[in-house]
Each structure stands twice: as structure tokens, then as C-alpha cells.
Structure 1
Amino acid sequence: MNPNSPLPPGLAIGAVVSDVDGVLTDGSVGISASGHKFRTFHVHDGMGVKLLAAAGIRVAWLSSSQDDGVIRARAASLGVNAVDVADGDKGARLRRLCEAIGVPTTAVLYIGDDVNDLPAIHLAACSVCPADARPEVRAAVTHVLKSPGGRGAFREAADIVLDHLGAHIPIPPSIELA
């Protein structure tokens, strides 16, 4: 474990659970002329998912967005272990998601950006948020990231986790991030 980590000393992280809109995206939702929704995701964040997986850290996404298929498609393309896209209290949903992936909440780092993430932030062992998160969230998390949502915040969090655990992951020569 890295003694300079911004995370609590001795914390063993088994999973990183992240909100989607405002963390993995910049919070914008585009709508085409035909009415199809779309979001953009940063490839650095995709690499963060892959590096965590290579280190044996489970990754899950917890979103309150309307399920338009985009979130699940991106998660599937990266090999995310579990996705919960629904309404409802994110604390209770985090608890169920952790049961599904076999990791206790005491071994979860949660990434959120808005007030609906607060129940999950308070339940997880530790938490981080993008630089542009709501003030209430910035005040509640373990660490505020330097990157804004949708611009590498997830990758920054992944790097912090890997550094905290002292994990040295060899960079694969080719990883599909699309």
C-alpha cells in the first residue's frame, strides 16, 4: 500500500462502483434529429476500467439515467462486471449490486458527482468525485479528483486505487476501448 495515497490507510479495495452521467460522461445527453439519445465517453476512462480488471478489481456502474441502451452497450464493450440502471435510493442499490458482484460495501470505492449519489457515498468504504461535482458531494467524499466528469475522472480514480494497492499492471499491447 502506498503511504501517500489519499485513501484511508490499510483499505483493501475489491471494487470500484461509479455513477455514469457526470462521472464517465460530462453530464450532457445529445439527441439526434430522429430522437436517439447519445453520450460521449472518454477513452482514458475506458483504459481505467481495463487496468482495474487486470488488477483483479471488480468494476460496476450505478446510474439513475433512463436506460436507453447506451450505458449498457459501453459497459459491455469494456467488460464492466455489473450495471444497475434504474431509479431509487443509490445506497440500497449499491448494497444489492455489491451482493451481486461478491464484494462487501466495506471494500468499495464509490465515484459520484451529484446529490443522488450521497447515500452510496456514505455507504461505501471510501469515495471520490470529479472536480466539477456538486458542492454537497465534494464536502462528503474522501477525495476530490482533479479531473472533471467525462474528462478522465474515472481513470484518475483508477490510478489512485492501483497506486494505493501498489498494483503494477503491465500495459497490454492492445486493448479495445471503443
Structure 2
Amino acid sequence: MLNSKFRLITISGKIAVGTTTLTKNLINSLNWKHINIGAIQRKYDRKLKFQENIVGALSRSDDHEKEIDDITQQLLKTEKEIIYEGWLTGFFARSYNDILKVLLICSHDDIRVDRVANRDNVAVEEAKHWIKQRENENTEKWKRLYGEYNFWDPKYFNLIIDTYKTGPQETLGKVLDKIGYEHK
């Protein structure tokens, strides 16, 4: 049962903070639709035969980046009952009061590195390098396109959760509580 002022949820966060886990858990609880911008980007990369882990976000054209962001803006204006997962979705939704903007962080980078190493079956040093490269390239590109923002500034979000301190179920519970979900 849901009695909420929020028509849509954005889930934002950097690499390996738990956005996908939270999104899957929300889908199971709410039966809402789901959009993952990262999956859309990876599909585009595969079509162009890019290997993002090697070439990074700078390989994508600015036009492509803006096209994806235009799609995001349109969805934010019109859709409801969607869980929208992506690095910048909360930032783009910052002016909407009827969208719950969730930011996941992990206060210990070594945990994020360990998550990537285990998930992708790569060495710790490779995971560390990959995280740093992707985050730096993406942030550099987005600052060039959108301005000198801290895209994960807590002021843009309704709910900030440190996944170093909370497990998947507690993280889910915090979001469900925030949207007014009544547990049966």
C-alpha cells in the first residue's frame, strides 16, 4: 500500500555504492517500472563496439550525452511510478518536489573497490584504476556540458544513505519509509 507525494524515484550514486541493488529491491516491493541509464549507455557502447572499461565516457559524443539527458528530462516531467537509476538522475530532478531523489554513498572507498573487484572478477588495483578513471572522465565531461556543479551535493537530494553503514534491506526500508509505504 502506497500513500505518497512522490510519483517517481531517482536513485543516484557513484560506482559500487549499491544503486542497482536498491533499485532491484524497490522493483520487488513496489512493482514500479525501472529505467537504468547505465544500461542504455552500455547498449549504445556495444552498438559502437566501445569497451567502456578501456576507453571511458570521453569516447561518447557530447551530442549523444545530451540526447540521453534530454530523454531523462522528458521522463522526469511526465512519468510516474518509475524507479530511475543513473548517476545524474537526482541532479536533473533537483527542481521537482514530487520526485524522491535518493543519493547512495559509501563512506569507505576500499569497500567500493572490493565490490567492483568481486563483481567484475578483476584485481583490486584494476578495480581501483577503473573506478577512478570512469568517475574522473564522467565528472570532467559533465562539468564541461552542464557547469561546475558537484552533481552529488546532498542539497539536491531528499534522502542520503551511506551503504557502508546500512545493508540492502535497511537501505530499502529507509526509502520505503520516506515514500510512505505501508508494510503489510
Q: Give the TM-score normalised by the residue count of structure 2.
A: 0.42
User: Which one has a larger percent helix, Structure 1 or Structure 2?
Assistant: 2
TM-score (norm 1): 0.43
Q: Highest relative contact order (Cα 8 Å, sep 6+), 1 or 2?
A: 2
